[in-house]
Every structure is written in structure tokens, then in C-alpha cells.
């Protein structure tokens, strides 16, 4: 498997956050792309209706036109239907099983939360691995225990695959995560300013790009 290069900034298009803020998903996607996003994951934790899939198709098309890697969270079937990359959690299909759906050439990421999971994940056919939550996070209802910077430094030695730090990452602590061994940082909460408009979202994405480089 060829080594996959993670962009340093990994924005998450969180549909729940966007719905609460009253911002259309495709408008948010345009803002992220205009802000320089080279990867974009859609995180949709509720039911995928026909309307949801249609919106995801629009987002996939926008990303494809811009050369931005589009990633579907959790669902191998929808990732395959959209021709997208896939990001899996510990409660989803394993990367090996997911590849029976998305195929051998799709980009697949896999989240881990402790050394045992990381050791097992290193043997899976995943292109990159995620580790966290780094810090306290409000994006999950039942988050795993925080791992902290020391945990990230220790985990870096367990895999040579690209590593993305996840969970509670802000502009104040992102560089610390990079310096501790993360190739990339995934962001949800600190990506969505208040008020949340296309302009403020684009500007926040640009701020992240300036902080970590493109």
C-alpha cells in the first residue's frame, strides 16, 4: 500500500453543528474549499435519507472539482456509492471488512483511542490512523478518556502510518499536537465561529491553514 500523505489541517463538516447554526452544508463546503481545505470529512451521525445522500453527492462533486479529498464518516456503503474516501471508528466495520465494500484503492482511515487499539490498527489495511480524544471534547456524547500529549507521543512509536490527532483540538493547542508527532489535526468545534456564515467559515479555515501550513 502506497504511503498516503495527510494534509496538516483536517476539517470536519459536522452536519449537526451546521443544522444548529442554520448554515447549508453545500455553502459550508464551498467556504472550506475557498479557505484552502485539501481534505474534508462529512460527519453525519443520524439517519441517511435520500435528501442526505443527495446533499452528500453535491458536496462530493464540489470536492472533486476542487481536488479536495472527500471523506465519508462511518459508512462504507455510502462512501462506495459516492466514490469517496472512508473514515471508520472502533464500532464500525474494520478496515479489512470495509475494503470488501469500498475496494482496495479507496483511502481508508481508522480511529483509535488507546495503545492496544493502535497496535491492532497498525496491522489493518488503513491508509492513515487517528488517535484521541486528545483533550476534552463536546462533539461526542460519550467520549473515550482523553489521551493528552504524552499519550500521543507514546503512540507515535507504534505506527509508521500517517497519524491524525482528534478530539478537543483548538488553535491554541494544535501546534503542540503537531510537535508531539501528529501529521495532521482534525477539527470540529474550533472550526465553526459565531456567527457561522460562509464568510466567517472561510476566514476561519484560512486561519487554520496559516497556523499549520497547507
Closest alpha carbon to 17 in 172, 207, 201: 201
Catalytic residue (choose from 43, 161, 178, 204): 43
Angstrom distance (rounded) from CA 104 to CA 29: 27
Catalytic residue (choose from 140, 156, 171, 206): 140
C-alpha cell at 184: 495532521
Angstrom distance (rounded) from CA 135 to CA 147: 7
The question of whether 140 is a catalytic residue gets the answer yes
Cα 53 off chain centre by: 19
Which residue reads 476542487 in cell numbers?
66
The question of whether 111 is a catalytic residue gets the answer yes
In our burial notation (b when 16+ CB lie closer than 10 A, e otherwise), range 135-163 reads bebebeeeebeebebebbeebbebbebbb
For 69, other C-beta atoms within 10 Å of its C-beta total 19
Catalytic residue (choose from 38, 55, 75, 111): 111
Active-site residue list? 43, 111, 140
Amino acid at each position: 500500500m502506497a504511503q498516503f500523505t495527510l494534509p496538516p489541517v483536517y476539517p470536519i463538516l459536522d452536519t449537526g453543528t451546521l443544522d444548529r447554526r442554520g448554515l447549508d452544508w453545500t455553502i459550508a463546503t464551498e467556504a472550506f474549499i475557498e479557505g484552502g481545505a485539501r481534505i474534508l470529512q462529512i460527519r453525519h451521525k443520524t439517519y441517511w435519507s435520500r435528501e442526505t445522500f443527495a446533499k452528500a453527492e453535491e458536496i462530493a462533486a464540489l470536492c472533486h472539482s476542487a481536488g479536495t479529498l472527500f471523506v465519508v464518516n462511518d459508512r462504507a456503503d455510502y462512501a462506495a456509492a459516492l466514490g469517496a474516501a472512508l473514515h471508520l471508528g472502533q464500532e464500525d466495520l474494520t478496515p479489512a471488512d470495509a475494503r470488501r465494500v469500498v475496494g482496495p484503492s479507496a483511502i481508508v482511515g481508522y480511529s483509535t483511542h488507546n495503545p492496544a487499539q493502535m497496535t491492532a490498527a497498525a496491522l489493518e489495511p488503513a491508509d492513515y490512523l487517528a488517535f484521541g480524544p486528545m483533550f476534552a471534547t463536546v462533539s461526542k456524547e460519550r467520549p473515550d478518556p482523553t489521551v493528552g500529549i504524552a499519550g500521543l507521543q507514546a503512540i507515535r512509536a507504534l505506527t509508521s502510518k500517517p497519524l491524525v490527532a482528534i478530539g478537543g483540538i483548538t488553535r491554541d493547542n494544535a501546534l503542540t499536537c503537531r510537535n508531539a508527532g501528529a501529521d495532521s489535526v482534525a477539527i470540529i468545534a474550533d472550526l465553526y465561529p459565531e456567527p457561522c456564515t460562509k464568510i466567517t467559515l472561510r476566514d476561519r479555515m484560512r486561519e487554520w491553514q496559516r497556523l499549520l501550513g497547507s
